[in-house]
Structure 1
Amino acid sequence: MIKKYTAEILPLNAEKIGTAAHGTATFTIDDVQMKIHIDMFDTLADVQHWEHFHGFPDGKPAEIATVAQDANGDGFVDLPETESVSGTTMVPFNADPAKMHVPNDDYPVADADGHYNYEKLVDLKELQRAFKDAFGSDDLQLDKRVIYIHGVPDTLKLPTTVQGTVMDYDTHVTLPIAVGKIIKA
């Protein structure tokens, strides 16, 4: 049985970063694999964009962050500020999603026009095993997740109040630029 999920990805922090990143994501799952397709436009050009689905390990439905989550009033919705409504980072959409290794340099890079197209076939059983090891359940529950696109150039001046450093990656890498609610098609 084939299950399909989609997300309309909308801009976040657009006024502060100078572009309104947007796009679509589709997830097609059969008994063997998950096909991921993400098509993004108006992202920041020539920048690597981390992308993941976020959610709550207990299965609570995740929602997209909005300006209402700017808890410190600095004008940016940073990664920690998204957690109250979106949960934690779960599965990365990089070179090998099933390894669930979030901090790395294997994410898509936008072209000079701010476009990128990501497509990946993922072994479903391998992903479910890794997901269960990390979150206690092998049920991905995509219809309870949101997708985030991250990343701005390191030349963009961010206030010191913007948080979200992950290991050796600073807030320029983790700043959300777009978000979408994943729904069952």
Structure 2
Amino acid sequence: MKKYIAHITPLNAEKIGCKAHGTAEFTEDGDKLHVKVEMLDTPKNIEHWEHFHGFPDGKEAHVPTMAQDKNHDGFIDLPETEEVSGTTMVPLDDAPQDMNIPHDGYPVADENGHYEYEVDIPLEKLQAKFKDAFGTEDLQLDKRVVYVHGVPKDLELPDTVGGCVMSYDAHTTLPIAAGKIEKA
């Protein structure tokens, strides 16, 4: 059995008006990957996309800092995270093993900005999809970063905030918290 944990800390907190934080735990046990995420102080009553990001070549991913705000608009948006965190890899949604990133199957925060997410993922199926997408079935969790995304549609964002994914705009993809996954 292998265990990993990420201590998730706020991103863009001053701009979005809350300091989203929490933990993500990953346990590889036989033929399953058990994932548990608990988040506090997220924007209330909205869906929050959550994923782990990384580099397909196994390079170490890191949590972004304001140094990644390349356009100096005061926000670290999704495209600006890629330099240090890599690409979106696996969604923490209703079926992570399908690796279907853009859809409405993610956790929704309650009226207090809290949510818990827990799932058992069939490891063999996830590894097969991961290999199709990234050329390896090794998830290398200790080289990845967990991201939580999503702000209310009525939050005013400058046009410089990027992150459109299909029909989902930057309100859906703006990172609100991130944490480096480490061996427990």
- Counterpart code for 1:181: K
User: What percent identity do the matched residue pairs reach?
Assistant: 63
Per-residue CA distance 1:49-81 (angstroms, 9 max, x = gap)? 000000000000000011111000000000000
1:25 pairs with 2:47: no
Per-residue CA distance 1:28-57 (angstroms, 9 max, x = gap)? 002210000000000000010000000000
Q: Distance in 2 between matches of 1:119 and 1:24?
A: 12
**Equivalent position of 1:88 in the other structure:** 87
Q: Distance in 1 between matches of 2:156 and 2:147?
A: 21
Unaligned runs of 5+ in 2: none
| 4+ residue runs over 3 A deviation | none
Alignment length, in residue pairs? Answer: 184
**How far off is 1:160 after superposition?**
0.2
Unaligned runs of 5+ in 1: none
- Counterpart code for 1:133: D
CA RMSD, 1 decimal: 0.3
**Equivalent position of 2:101 in the other structure:** 102
Q: Distance in 2 between matches of 1:133 and 1:168?
A: 25
* TM-score, normalisation: structure 2: 1.00
- Counterpart code for 1:42: D
Q: How does 1:21-170 map to 2 (within 5 A)?
A: 21-170=20-169
1:180 pairs with 2:171: no
Q: Distance in 1 between matches of 2:38 and 2:153?
A: 23
**How far off is 1:120 after superposition?**
0.3
